[in-house]
Structure 1
Amino acid sequence: MMIVSSILVALVALEHVYILVLEMFLWTTPRAQKSFGTTPQFARETKSLAANQGLYNGFLAAGLVWSLLHPNDTFGVQLQLFFLICVAVAAIYGGITAKKSILLVQGLPAFIALITVVLANL
């Protein structure tokens, strides 16, 4: 179960690296506009806001990677719990205030990873 939980945590981290790239570097491209449901004008007007948002997603990814690489397993699990809860809270907030699909796209992987981390460490 530890291997499964580590893989799921890594996938959540990878997803947030992808979001970082979309928001920081590809925000005005058709790919990002389609992903986030924005128009070219809106994307141009909000480019700096999106980059800031992308940076925060990068911090979540970095924290999750740190949790997987930390030499103290107990502290690593605590980091996993903290950062997965942060992702889950952000997904809930985004799902309520922005797009419901955020709950599925970002929230569901985080919730599943969170459950596996808890079960693996009972």
Structure 2
Amino acid sequence: MVTAGLIVALLAALLHGYIFVMESVTWTSPRTRAVFGMTEDEAQTTKLLAFNQGFYNLFLGIVTVVGVVAAFTGATAVGVALVFAGVGSMLAAAVVLLVSARDKARAAVTQGALPLVATVLTAIGLAL
């Protein structure tokens, strides 16, 4: 069960890497603007904010990947702690998005589903 949780955590990290690309690299592109429902002017106005936010997502993904690698190479306690820190923060951010912007519920669920599953599977696996 822990292994399944760690694999799902890797998927969450990959998703957050993709979010990093959208927010920090392609924010003003037509495709990314469509994903976030923004006009060109809105994208230009929020470009710096999105750039910074994208790096938060990247760092959460990196922490998670480092944790998974550590767990799989024998440093289980350190690895799982890092995984919980990474996916827990991803999940918390999804909850904040859901609570603060109900119209972004789909994005919040997309952002939070994998971290939630990773957290539950890993926790159950550790408890067994």
Q: TM-score, normalised by structure 2?
A: 0.90
Q: Deviations over 1:2-56 (max 9, x none)?
A: 3211210100000000000000000001111111111111001111110000010
| Residues in 2 aligned to 1:106 and 1:15: alpha-carbon distance in whole angstroms | 8
Q: Does 1:34 align with 2:34?
A: yes
Q: Does 1:77 align with 2:80?
A: yes
What does residue 92 of structure 1 align with?
95
What does residue 112 of structure 1 align with?
117
Q: Deviations over 1:74-117 (max 9, x none)?
A: 11111111221111110010112231123210111111111011
Gaps of 5+ in 2: none
Q: Which one-letter code corresponds to 1:78 in the other structure?
A: A
**Runs (4+) of structure 1 moved beyond 3 Å?**
none
| Residues in 2 aligned to 1:100 and 1:2: alpha-carbon distance in whole angstroms | 29
Gaps of 5+ in 1: none
| Residues in 2 aligned to 1:103 and 1:18: alpha-carbon distance in whole angstroms | 15
How many percent identity over aligned positions? 33
Q: Which one-letter code corresponds to 1:59 in the other structure?
A: F
Q: Which one-letter code corresponds to 2:54 in the other structure?
A: G
Q: Aligned Cα RMSD in Å?
A: 1.1
Q: TM-score, normalised by structure 1?
A: 0.94
